[in-house]
Amino acid sequence: MKVTFALSAIAALAAKVSAACFSERLGYPCCRGTEVVYTDSDGKWGVENGNWCGIGNSGSSASCWSQALGFPCCTSTSTVYYSDNDGDWGVENGNWCGIIKGGGSGGNGGNGGNGGGNATPGEQYTIQGNPFANVEFYINPYYVEEVDNAISQMSDSSLIAKAEKMKTYSNAIWLDNIKNMQSWLEPNLQGALSQQNSGGTPVLTVFVVYDLPGRDCHALASNGELLANDSDMERYKSEYIDVIEGHLKKYKSQPVVLVIEPDSLANMVTNIETTPACADSQTYYMDGHAYLLKKLGVFANVALYLDIGHAFWLGWDDNREKAAKVYSKVIQSGAPAKVRGFVDNVANYTPWEDPTLSRGPDTEWNPCPDEKRYLEAMHKDFTSAGIQSVYFFSDTSRNGKKTDRKHPGEWCNQTGCGIGARPQASPISGMEYLDAFYWVKPIGESDGTSDTSAKRYDGYCGHETAMKPAPEAGQWFQKFFEEGLKNANPPL
């Protein structure tokens, strides 16, 4: 289920030249000290060592500060997705653009809504109750870019209109390896803070913490970078969790939700005895959770949700009983950290409600054949086990339409999938322990490759109901994205 976002936008931003002068982007050096001998629309030019060189950051005719850095001016958006010392950045046509403050060109002018180059965190924000309530949801600019790229490959106007709507909905940002965490975490915290400071309403960002040693021990498509050994465990702590802790400590004035290590604890419930890789990973999964809870579960503005798989993983009575013990133990190991609750159906397709199914041979006697009944049962079992805070949010990014999978355990790029309920706080009346519907796994990003020769090929991605040909996990899968648009329920 691993998500590895296309990094073209963030890589471009990270690599953008904090140019000493405009001419570097044109292939000419900056002048070290000479007089102006020529001026054109790019800027002022001098000559040194028999070669043209640029003087200053931009020409007098440059329309905005970002052009000197190789990026266009924003023409149709003023939404700030990121701020740095150069200014405020927006996204248009799948590319970063510079936002002009006050309609004029700037030098290092962006202020992110707070009067400086970067938005500055304010007073401590404290989550009280449901973290999804009474907030704006942060729009992930990198997914917006992916959707824009997808639209450029479409010709059906009705499908394009549906895709355009996708850019208005929030989804989670996956910190799926150390490098991506370093590139993605702070820029998005900063972007959300800028949005919050300019609008005055708290802006919630959802991140997925997903890099345990021996990750996804029962699957192949989404194995991680860290192995189940002591040295990689130390890397997980010092290079991953500790860095996340530092950023969360800094950005104290905005709400954050963390989805904790999808699939990991569910594997500890069902696969230790049957899968050697899960047995080998057990110590690191348990110790890793204890460490991250103590580090990340102590912030007043951060809510943690542990992943609990889905209805056709832990829904059976014996699995739920084992789960209550495992999750209770894990939460106790992280004391005094607080866990808000649990997240289900991450990157999966099980419908929220399926009245056509009941406990019987068709469901292998599962008493929880949809996510609603699963959460109702888990709420009862977890509460009975003494877990103090039992709240849930459910991933509805791709469960809007019941798929034709032969077995409800099928998980890879399912044919016939559809986008589900839109992100929303407290979506079900009378179900006060359901905090939200939310999109954790963005539709369009592959679950795993169908290439049988690939190192990370998993047999589930070759099953009859898995769409083919499919790229590696996390890479953009255009056909899969369009399938989700067509089958969205409710319609886009």
Whole-angstrom distance, CA of residue 233 vs CA of residue 226:
8
- Return the structure tokens found at 260: 């904790």
Decide if 13 contacts 82 (C-beta within 8 A). yes
| Binding site per annotation, positions | 174, 176, 310, 313, 348, 411, 441, 445
| Binding site per annotation, positions for substrate | 174, 176, 310, 313, 348, 411, 441, 445
Please determine, for residue 308, whether its predicted confidence score (pLDDT) is greater than 90: yes
Average pLDDT over residues 221-241: 93
Please determine, for residue 2, whether its predicted confidence score (pLDDT) is greater than 90: no
The per-residue pLDDT for 21 is: 66
Average pLDDT over residues 21-25: 69
Q: Which of 53-62, 295-304, 348-357, 410-419 has the lowest mean pLDDT?
A: 53-62
Q: Which of 55-59, 100-104, 343-347, 476-480 has the lowest mean pLDDT?
A: 100-104
**Short-list 278, 378, 292, 391, CA closest to 333:** 292
Name 147's Cβ contacts closer than 8 Å, sequence gap at least 6: 163, 164, 166, 167, 444
* Between 166 and 21, residue with greater pLDDT: 166
Q: What are the beta bridge partners of residue 51?
A: 48
Average pLDDT over residues 225-230: 96
CB atoms within 10 A of CB 250: 14
> Could you please report the per-residue DSSP string of 421-440?
SPPEES-STT-TTEEEEE--
pLDDT tens-place string over residues 344-383: 999 999 999 999 888 888 888 999 999 999 999 999 999 9
Q: In what order do the strands lie in the sheet with 44-48?
A: 38-39, 44-48, 51-55
Active site residue: 211, 344, 370, 447, which one?
447
Q: Which domains does the chain have, with CATH numbers?
A: 24-54 (3.90.1220.10), 136-487 (3.20.20.40)
Active site residue: 86, 88, 211, 263, which one?
263
Average pLDDT over residues 93-108: 52
The per-residue pLDDT for 1 is: 43
* Between 183 and 221, residue with greater pLDDT: 183
Task: Return the axis-axis angle of helices 157-166 and 478-486, rounded to nearest 10°.
Answer: 90
Helix (H) or strand (E) holding 286: helix 276-296
* CA angle centred on 174, ends 173 and 177, rounded to 5°: 145
**Short-list 143, 217, 225, CA closest to 182:** 225
pLDDT tens-place string over residues 186-212: 999 999 999 999 888 999 999 999 999
Asked if 84 is an active-site residue, the reply is no
Average pLDDT over residues 450-470: 92
Please determine, for residue 393, whether its predicted confidence score (pLDDT) is greater than 70: yes
Please determine, for residue 8, whether its predicted confidence score (pLDDT) is greater than 50: no
pTM for this entry? 0.78
> Could you please report the per-residue DSSP string of 166-229?
HTTS---EEE-SHHHHHHHHHHHHHHHHHHHHHH-S-EEEEEEE---TT-STT-STT--SS-SS
**Short-list 126, 124, 130, CA closest to 305:** 130
pLDDT tens-place string over residues 51-69: 777 887 543 333 467 776 7
Decide if 474 contacts 450 (C-beta within 8 A). no
- Model confidence at 224, pLDDT cuts 50, 70, 90, reads confident
* Between 226 and 96, residue with greater pLDDT: 226
Mean pLDDT (the chain) is 86
The per-residue pLDDT for 62 is: 38
Whole-angstrom distance, CA of residue 37 vs CA of residue 44:
8
Q: Which amino acid is at 8?
A: S
Decide if 193 contacts 121 (C-beta within 8 A). yes
CA-CA distances (angstroms) from residue 474 to 5, 280, 449, 477?
A: 6, 25, 9, 9
- Model confidence at 260, pLDDT cuts 50, 70, 90, reads very high
The per-residue pLDDT for 411 is: 87
Whole-angstrom distance, CA of residue 61 vs CA of residue 58:
8
CA-CA distances (angstroms) from residue 23 to 13, 103, 323?
A: 18, 25, 61
**Short-list 449, 440, 441, CA closest to 475:** 449
% of the chain exceeding 70 in pLDDT: 85
Alpha helices, H only, 119-177: 141-151, 157-166
The per-residue pLDDT for 329 is: 98
Whole-angstrom distance, CA of residue 363 vs CA of residue 375:
17
Asked if 263 is an active-site residue, the reply is yes
